[in-house]
Every structure is written in C-alpha cells, then in structure tokens.
Amino acid sequence: MAALTPEEIAWAASVGISPSRAAWLATCPKFTRWDYEKRTIADRNLWKNGNVWFLRMKRRGVQIVERLSTDYEEAKRLRDLRITAINNDTP
C-alpha cells in the first residue's frame, strides 16, 4: 500500500473514501482504458472490433461510426479520405 500524506487522507475522508481504500486507489495504474492515451493523435479515431477497423469521431455533437476495412493500412487510407470529405462538407 502507498503511504498517503495527511492532505490526501483528509481529501479522501471529505469525499467518503476510507484511508485504506484511498491507499489502494493510489496504487492503481493511471490509465486503464484501451491505451487511448498512448495512441498518436492521428490514430485516436481508429477503433478495432474483432477483425474490422472503424472510424469513430464526434463532429458537432454527432457521433460518427463507420466501418472501414479489415486491413489496417487500407483503413487508414479510407479514414483520411472520409475525414477530408467530412471537413469539406461542413461550412
């Protein structure tokens, strides 16, 4: 278990977390979601589900999810074309 400072223990108590639970949470890895933070900016909108790569992005409050390809290089090429088309369609 990680040793917490008195300020961290006081904060944990203020939000309703026991000191032992706060110490356990402090030992958890910082990033636990799909390596999202480790991806390059260009690849953050490419998502793989099974064998298929998808374009996934949010534009003007609308979530866009489109199937691209099973080949990674082909998916990157199609993604770039689709993003260009989306950017050209918006005023």
Query: pLDDT value at position 2?
Result: 58
pTM metric for this prediction: 0.51
- Reply yes or no on whether the pLDDT at 49 is more than 60: yes
Give the C-alpha separation, 39 to 54, whole Å: 15
Please report the pLDDT score of residue 33 as a whole number.
Answer: 53
The chain-wide mean pLDDT, for the chain, equals 79
Mean pLDDT over 67-71 rounds to 89
Q: How sure is the predictor about 38, in pLDDT bands with cuts at 50, 70 and 90?
A: low
User: Which residues contact residue 72 at a Cβ distance below 8 angstroms, ignoring those fewer than 6 apart?
Assistant: 53
Mean pLDDT of 10-17: 88
Query: pLDDT class for 30, splitting at 50, 70, 90?
Result: low
Residue 38 per-residue DSSP state = G
CA atoms 30, 33, 37, 38: torsion sign: positive
| pLDDT at res. 29 | 65
